[in-house]
Structure 1
């Protein structure tokens, strides 16, 4: 029975690793995993505390017969011991046999380059250190000769660098940039520039960039970079909750998180460009550095475009965020300066404690993110539409009662050609494009659209797509008819606009 249990466990893991995972990789839901790594995962499925805890739960259950309890406890204990003493003790030989523990060609070259770079730096600074510590000239010369020999050996050992293809160098540069990005995000967190919630997502995205670069090179890295700017499920859920229930808190928080992540991403990408300029040429050559810079510049352009779309909509919030980041940087510099003065014995420990206490108070204020006002109440948006300005308050309130605010995303299609019209839209802020025949038309703040289908009962005549973030007011067909019946001025204006648009069509 123990043999059946072990084989069943291996078979279950095998179905997932060699059946489900390749299918997920084929449809783009998971990264490709090499066969050797999958074999290690298959054999390395060690079981211990959790399995025993589950077995104890069976033993404590009064409804389980005693003979079943004995069988479960015996089998689980034996299974756990088998995984620990058979799988566990043979896992390292399996890894060694498959060659997974050996460095790849790229990693071997990087190792050699790192040794050569470090030895060169040591040799260059050795004389300065000898002067500082008054080291005897003979001893200094012997040590210098030792490092010179090691440097020559290291340089001769990396002659195989010429064997690396251009693609391998480029891929290694992308992987190095992704690793550097992970380190920068963690550094921002340690320096209290970014909150833990934001940095978790940023580090996870950097891991996806590394995985994409390892498996697919440029294409994998760029795909991960595009996914980084896509709207995650949580963001879309917050929009759906707002549309259905009118709750703005979740949406405001999601917008704030996205803005903060974009600001950090932009700063990090600038740092990566410097990394590509200063570090990659000496490690992987100028061609790899040039290729990496091109990819990073494209990524930075995409980030800037996405950030600009939000900045147009919430410029005041973005400005406050940037000022807050600058304030945090100033506090970090101030903290480092206090520590330097203490280490140089300029100030006492008591003075340092007092200074750091004041600094903590200011850190607390700088850590609170400014609030984001989405201004998605119907009345607030109504006042932005010129069509409704000048109406009496009672009329505005009656109009606002039948209008529903809607937050739209860049690229979101609000109207599709050929569908039956059920709603009319008023633009409080943002820009949209109407895909009419010939030159597409753009609509902006204060415009309205969708009235033709309601007036004529004909299908929609064009697609309407949001060009950026926007705030709309939506009115249903029945409310539209009642509104026009109550207000002759609005009726005349909307009818005239519809006539002109119909004539153009």
Structure 2
């Protein structure tokens, strides 16, 4: 114990690493630049003696010039290290923003654990694997997990919709919270990271941030299409909570200024607490009703009457697939047709690939040609599919001209005679 300090000194364990040492010089230069700007503003506001101001500014300027020169001469930080350090700082600021939003009550305590866990994974990923680790953690934050897929199976096969409704509502709120937080991070990149790590690193971080926002927007759009109106209700809830937070702030400031007494303040806070409790409630999510409303938006079903749409809503089954999941295998028997409610899939056959998105269908060719499937189909985004069995698809084909037109277009694209195809299906 008496020699521990000496051993630590001899081994250099009390010294910063080369990266941290170079980074500290960058931080000092940036901090002093900010201080100079703030001091200049302060001296102007208080109209201080100009000779004193000029003397102190010269002294401070010399220190700043030395710090900037030392930082510019630093060559110990590689580009990949700067990127990793920038990502760690960005994820750390994201975590701080989440905590601030929780304190402001614009993010619910229910969501706090989820989004904080995502932020911690971003920090750890950037710390251990740099950019690739950060991107992997970012993809995981918007992916459907195993428990979600299990809930989808319960709903699709057994009609138990409670877990799926609850988890879908959680996903809605989580994505909305993440989007609100990420939109604030660009200012941090420009204001802090750019000054420390340079323009190139800042631009790369902006690009990674834009990709994350795009992924969240895509996931939100899929849920909006699937459950019309629900996202709007969550956004209204966010606005109400924000208004309550601002109202509370105003009451507190007026109380501190002595504009009213403790009794009035207590009464106002009690009334505010009642309204906050009401605003915390989350709207319910009805999977069955929303699915019916979503089916009405399909162009392929545009010419069906109200009764036919209701019957179709009852017989269509919902299937959820995550990125990379295989929906259909080549050579598998043809028993169902799939309609893409949200997301996208990629079809591969004989070395060729093509992609289908929302509102399109696949699986119909194998049924109408009475052949085994010739394509592999996998999801390239979190995807919701509506599945119709062969018999009901053939009956629907007879009633829907829009569906027949879609089948013709798909057949022509693949070099199949649409007349023979549809006559075999029993529809002209």
The bucket for the TM-score relative to the shorter chain is 0.7 to 0.9
**CA drift at 1:499:** 10
Distance 1:112 1:472, change over 3 A: same
**CA drift at 1:359:** 1.4
The answer to which structure, 1 or 2, has the higher relative contact order (CA under 8 A, 6+ apart) is: 2
| Residue 161 (1) aligns with residue 161 (2) | no
Greater C-alpha Rg: 1
For residue 244 of structure 1, the aligned residue among 145, 153, 157 is 157
Distance 1:492 1:120 in 2: 74
Give CA deviations for 1:197-255 in whole Å, capped at 9, x if unaligned.
Answer: 32212222222222222222222222221222221122112112222321111111111
Distance 1:350 1:307 in 2: 45
Q: CA RMSD in A?
A: 4.6
Give the structure-1-normalised TM-score.
0.64
Distance 1:219 1:111, change over 3 A: same
Superposed counterparts of 1:293-442, under 5 Å:
293-375=206-288, 389=305, 403=315, 405-409=317-321, 413-421=326-334, 423-425=335-337, 427=339, 429-430=341-342, 435=347
For residue 472 of structure 1, the aligned residue among 386, 392, 412 is 386
For residue 188 of structure 1, the aligned residue among 101, 108, 116 is 101
Give CA deviations for 1:471-502 in whole Å, capped at 9, x if unaligned.
Answer: 52544x7xx4xx79xxx9769659x9699767
Report the secondary structure of 2:201's partner residue: helix
Q: Counterpart of 2:424?
A: none
Give CA deviations for 1:428-448 in whole Å, capped at 9, x if unaligned.
Answer: 955776848789585876x87
Contact 1:426 1:448 survives alignment (8 Å): yes
Distance 1:153 1:341 in 2: 47
Distance 1:441 1:135 in 2: 68
Distance 1:149 1:455, change over 3 A: closer
Distance 2:252 2:203 in 1: 40
Contact 2:19 2:76 survives alignment (8 Å): no
**CA drift at 1:175:** 1.2
Report the secondary structure of 2:229's partner residue: helix
- Unaligned stretches of 5+ in structure 1? 1-85
Distance 2:47 2:304 in 1: 85
For residue 278 of structure 1, the aligned residue among 164, 173, 191 is 191
Q: State the number of aligned residues.
A: 403
For residue 266 of structure 1, the aligned residue among 144, 168, 179 is 179
Contact 1:381 1:405 survives alignment (8 Å): no
**CA drift at 1:310:** 1.8
Superposed counterparts of 1:444-459, under 5 Å:
450=363, 458-459=371-372
Give CA deviations for 1:335-376 in whole Å, capped at 9, x if unaligned.
Answer: 111111112212222222121112111211221122122127
Contact 2:194 2:202 survives alignment (8 Å): yes
Distance 1:106 1:192, change over 3 A: farther
Give CA deviations for 1:237-288 in whole Å, capped at 9, x if unaligned.
Answer: 2112222321111111111121212112222221111111111122222222
Give the structure-2-normalised TM-score.
0.74
**CA drift at 1:122:** 5.1
Contact 2:321 2:327 survives alignment (8 Å): no
Report the secondary structure of 1:247's partner residue: coil
Contact 1:193 1:328 survives alignment (8 Å): yes
Distance 1:378 1:116 in 2: 57
Q: Counterpart of 1:214?
A: 127
- Unaligned stretches of 5+ in structure 2? 422-428
Contact 1:209 1:221 survives alignment (8 Å): yes
Give CA deviations for 1:368-416 in whole Å, capped at 9, x if unaligned.
Answer: 12212212799989999679857699x959x95xx46323346554433
Q: Counterpart of 1:13?
A: none
Contact 1:382 1:428 survives alignment (8 Å): no
Report the secondary structure of 2:319's partner residue: strand
Distance 2:172 2:316 in 1: 25
